């Protein structure tokens, strides 16, 4: 592993080498209920440091106010839009993690993509100058207790997780949804949402906001959002805010142990046909004969692998 490399596990996606899109994941689309949820003490500290006495004048009073509201209530976040206008693109420093291959790369049937973390793409402030980490790659800190004070800046809750996740060795790029290049929705979600609304059924797909948007076909499984997205839409986990990665940032691709051979060939051909991608190195994965380890070997140059 090189210091200027970071990695992303993903399912088989030949389209990535054609559109170069990565998702900016909103809080509601992440798989940990503790994500971006600092403690009540953190919110109290925020009020005290910003001299906002609307919810009380002491830590105890502010905590008492927050406790009166359910976890799903917007007032648990003091009715603010904090943490709703930015999302994260997740990467890792660990390229041989068996669990992550299983969890994020379709049970080893997907791939691992290497990126050049020294590129300006990972070190540019896109938005909100008051949030020091927006637009800058930053390592996630793992801890046993949730955040209780503001610490270094307002964006800290995006970069703190339980020690249970330490194996991921995660790095995050925090971006505002306004810098996304395109918004996408799965067609099956739109179909389920329409049926749920017609039957007035409360389901995960019941999202009235989706019906207010306009779409056009993007590919076989996705619709592109053509109407302007507003801030409230960022709270819907069904909307995928995507950002384009510069082609030169991609350094290598590692194919999963169980990826189909024809899928490897397909990606290889796409890369070979694009002069801007010919610098990308390709690797196959295999199981170590004696240990619980994954090893990589460069792919042969012949088209048939």
Whose tokens are 């210091």? That residue is 3
**What tokens does 200 get?**
């007035």
The pLDDT of residue 56 is: 87
Residue 150 DSSP label? -
Q: Is the dihedral of CA 102, 104, 107, 112 positive or negative?
A: negative
Is it the case that residue 71 has pLDDT exceeding 80? no
Q: Which helix or strand (DSSP H or E) is residue 263 part of?
A: helix 261-273
**High-pLDDT (> 90) share of the chain, %:** 60
Task: Answer yes or no: is pLDDT of 201 > 60.
Answer: yes
Consecutive H or E run containing 65 = helix 59-67
- Give pLDDT, residue 72: 73
- Going by DSSP bridges, is the β-strand pair 281-287/250-255 parallel, antiparallel, or unpaired? parallel
pLDDT tens digits, one per residue of 283-305:
999 999 999 999 999 997 644 44
Domain-wise residue ranges, the chain:
1-34+85-146+160-305, 40-77
Query: Which tokens in the block code for residue 78?
Result: 């003091």
pLDDT at 250 over 50: yes
User: Which tens digits make up the pLDDT trace of 133-171?
Assistant: 678 899 999 999 998 888 767 888 999 999 999 999 999
Q: Which letter, b or e, does each residue of 177-213 get, where b requires 16 or more Cβ atoms within 10 Å of its Cβ? A: beebebbbbeeebbebbeebbeeeeeeebebeebeeb
Lowest-confidence pick of 42-56, 167-181, 257-271: 42-56
Q: What is the mean pLDDT of the chain?
A: 89
Count of other CB atoms within 10 angstroms of residue 61: 14
Contacts of 302 (CB under 8 A, 6+ apart): none
Sheet with 86-92: strands ordered across: 137-139, 170-176, 86-92, 5-10, 111-116, 250-255, 281-287, 294-298
Of the candidates 305, 297, 304, 303, the one whose C-alpha atom is nearest the C-alpha of residue 252 is 297
Give the residue, 305 or 18, on which the prediction is more confident: 18
């Amino acid at each position: 592993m090189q210091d200027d490399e970071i990695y992303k596990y993903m399912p088989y996606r030949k389209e990535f080498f054609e559109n170069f899109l990565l998702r900016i994941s909103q809080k509601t689309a992440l798989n940990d209920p503790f994500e971006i949820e600092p403690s009540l003490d953190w919110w109290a500290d925020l009020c005290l440091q910003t001299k906002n006495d609307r919810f009380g004048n002491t830590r105890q009073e502010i905590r008492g106010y927050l406790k009166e509201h359910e976890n799903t209530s917007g007032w648990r976040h003091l009715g603010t839009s904090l943490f709703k206008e930015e999302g994260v693109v997740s990467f890792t420093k660990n390229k041989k993690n068996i669990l992550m291959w299983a969890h994020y790369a379709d049970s080893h049937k997907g791939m691992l993509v290497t990126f050049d973390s020294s590129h300006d793409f990972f070190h540019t402030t896109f938005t909100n100058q008051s949030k020091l980490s927006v637009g800058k790659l930053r390592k996630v800190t793992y801890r046993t207790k949730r955040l209780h004070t503001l610490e270094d800046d307002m964006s800290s809750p995006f970069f703190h997780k339980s020690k249970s996740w330490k194996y991921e060795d995660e790095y995050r790029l925090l971006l505002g949804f306004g810098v996304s290049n395109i918004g996408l929705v799965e067609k099956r979600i739109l179909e389920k949402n329409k049926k749920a609304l017609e039957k007035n059924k409360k389901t995960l797909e019941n999202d009235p906001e989706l019906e207010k948007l306009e779409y056009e076909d993007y590919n076989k499984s996705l619709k592109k959002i053509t109407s302007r997205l507003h801030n409230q839409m960022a709270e819907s986990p069904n909307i995928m805010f995507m950002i384009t990665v510069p082609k030169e940032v991609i350094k290598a691709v590692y194919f999963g142990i169980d990826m189909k051979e024809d899928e490897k060939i397909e990606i290889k051909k796409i890369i070979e046909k694009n002069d801007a991608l010919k610098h990308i190195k390709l690797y196959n994965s295999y199981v170590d004969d004696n240990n619980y380890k994954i090893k990589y070997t460069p792919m042969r140059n012949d088209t048939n692998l």
